[in-house]
Amino acid sequence: MKSIVLAFLLIVCFRTEMNAQDFIGTNDREKKVLRLINALPEIVRENQHRKKANVKYLLKACIQDVPTKTENYYKVSISEDLGFQLRTYDWYEVDARDYTIKYDDMITGKSISLAAWRRQLRSRKKGV
């Protein structure tokens, strides 16, 4: 019985497609995508606040998925790597052709332009 369970687990592990999370980028295109996301004003501003407050963990872009035949964009998260835990705050899509960035709204399941996302943020702040 143990050998059957072990064989099953090995088959599942080798057949499962795994996309490693990457904060560094494995090629020039991925590195450019990470630089673009890390340079967004919202990320830069938050990291400046964290540095002033002596917070140990900064936000960093992390490639979660690379372009495929059906979806021509990088899926990138903004995460805080705690070592034992990865906290993800925002998601973005970066077009692999022209590097256009869209905000990926996980609640609605829709991607919107950064300008539209920023307008939503401003209107929420005014409404609060």
What is the pLDDT at residue 2? 57
pLDDT band of 32, cuts 50, 70, 90: very high
pLDDT value at 97 more than 50: yes
Residues 6+ apart with CB under 8 A from 104: 75, 91, 92, 93, 111
What backbone phi and psi angles, to 5 degrees, belong to 90?
A: -135, 160
pLDDT value at 16 more than 70: no
pLDDT value at 64 more than 50: yes
- For residue 103, count other CB atoms closer than 10 A to its CB: 22
